[in-house]
């Protein structure tokens, strides 16, 4: 799987306006906590050295309480908490503003164990590889088709749960082009760990080109192997779950295969997208992702190969 060009992730990275705000709050919190830590360590060290007991010292005076000191060490932390609370509230509001009547740019629908991405404004539907235009103010609607999942690309900022029967909103303004990786972050079943999120942020122009290419109906196969592959797919139960534009496969239970050849990976970031890997996947998906909903159809290798050849022509 070639995701080697992906950005490396750490907690101080940000690739969206929202993540930038959250990382800024992280730094403020960290700075205040560090200041407290070093003040406490400093005072302790000072007291330990300065007031160190020597042999023959008399008992020090017993202090029963000190009102001024007690008020000080109650008020200062209360002010720090208040300050951080107000900042946190402001950041939460900035990152999750009211949605109002705004329509989503992308609907993220989580499935066991893959991601469906649809763009209601253009009609594009794809799976597992998300494309977003750099610099655009985007609203993602996060849904689930089955159990609770969670959409999380660390560089984009917060996690957002995907809850069946409930729509959540995630605002993103990507500020940097690149390939960003994420992961389903709510345990959702046997293949939870193989729900990779592959997010491509591209310049607006490239995004428009991608959108146009996704809206095209792929040409019917001409090569005899691919033709045979198409016949097999159309005559088997594949069509009860998958959609391929321009054919009689119109179901939407499983990933849309209309432009599967354009994707880098198979099985939600699991395998590199090659004819060979797709053949193996079609023969026995359970070998790669035990517990996923695609069954082993007991196909011969030659049939599975022809189906893979057909699919790898769908651009």
Chain residues binding ligand CUA by CB under 6 A are 110, 113, 149, 184, 186-188, 192, 195
Closest to ligand CUA by CB, 224 vs 291, is 291
Closest to ligand CUA by CB, 191 vs 313, is 191
Q: How far is the CB of 130 from ligand CUA (least distance, A)?
A: 15
CA gap 72, 68 in Å, rounded: 6
Q: How far is the CB of 196 from ligand CUA (least distance, A)?
A: 10
Query: Whose structure tokens read 């060490």?
Result: 73
Strands (E), the chain: 106-111, 114-119, 124-127, 129-133, 138-144, 149-151, 160-162, 168-172, 178-183, 196-202, 265-266, 271-272
Residue 219 near residue 258 (C-beta atoms within 8 A): no
Closest to ligand CUA by CB, 110 vs 309, is 110
Q: How far is the CB of 190 from ligand CUA (least distance, A)?
A: 10
Closest to ligand CUA by CB, 151 vs 281, is 151
Q: How far is the CB of 127 from ligand CUA (least distance, A)?
A: 14
Closest to ligand CUA by CB, 161 vs 262, is 161
Alpha helices of 51-158 — where are they, by DSSP H? 67-95
CA gap 275, 299 in Å, rounded: 16
Closest to ligand CUA by CB, 159 vs 173, is 159
3-state secondary structure 102-131: CCCCEEEEEECCEEEEEECCCCEEEECEEE
- HSE (CB half, 13 Å, CA atoms) of 245? 16
Q: How far is the CB of 115 from ligand CUA (least distance, A)?
A: 9
End-to-end CA distance of the chain: 19
Cα–Cα–Cα angle for 170, 176, 178, nearest 5°? 95
Q: How far is the CB of 118 from ligand CUA (least distance, A)?
A: 18
φ/ψ of 287, rounded to 5, equals -65, -35
Q: How far is the CB of 30 from ligand CUA (least distance, A)?
A: 29
Query: Whose structure tokens read 């769908």?
Result: 314
Closest to ligand CUA by CB, 194 vs 226, is 194
């Amino acid at each position: 799987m070639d995701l080697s060009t992906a950005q490396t992730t750490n907690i101080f990275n940000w690739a969206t306006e929202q993540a930038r705000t959250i990382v800024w709050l992280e730094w403020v919190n960290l700075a205040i906590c560090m200041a407290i830590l070093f003040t406490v360590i400093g005072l302790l060290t000072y007291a330990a050295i300065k007031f160190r007991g020597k042999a023959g010292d008399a008992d020090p005076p017993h202090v029963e309480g000190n009102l001024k000191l007690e008020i000080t060490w109650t008020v200062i932390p209360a002010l720090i908490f208040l300050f951080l609370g107000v900042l946190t509230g402001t950041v939460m509001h900035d990152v999750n503003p009211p949605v109002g009547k705004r329509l989503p740019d992308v609907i993220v629908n989580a499935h066991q164990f893959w991601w469906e991405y649809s763009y209601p404004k253009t009609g594009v539907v794809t799976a597992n590889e998300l494309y977003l235009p750099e610099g655009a103010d985007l609203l993602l609607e996060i849904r689930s088709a089955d159990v609770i999942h969670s959409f999380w690309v660390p560089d984009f900022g917060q996690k957002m749960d995907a809850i069946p029967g409930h729509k959540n909103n995630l605002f993103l303004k990507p500020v940097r082009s690149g390939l960003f990786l994420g992961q389903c972050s709510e345990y959702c079943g046997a293949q939870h760990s193989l729900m990779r999120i592959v997010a491509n942020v591209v310049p607006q122009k490239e995004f428009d080109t991608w959108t146009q290419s996704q809206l095209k109906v792929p040409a019917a196969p001409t090569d005899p192997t691919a033709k045979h592959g198409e016949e097999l797919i159309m005559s088997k139960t594949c069509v009860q779950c998958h959609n391929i534009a321009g054919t009689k496969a119109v179901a939407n239970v499983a990933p849309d295969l209309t432009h599967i050849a354009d994707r880098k990976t198979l099985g939600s970031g699991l395998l590199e997208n090659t004819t060979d890997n797709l053949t193996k996947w079609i023969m026995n998906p359970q070998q790669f992702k035990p517990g996923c909903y695609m069954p082993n159809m007991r196909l011969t290798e030659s049939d599975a190969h022809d189906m893979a050849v057909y699919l790898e022509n769908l651009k």
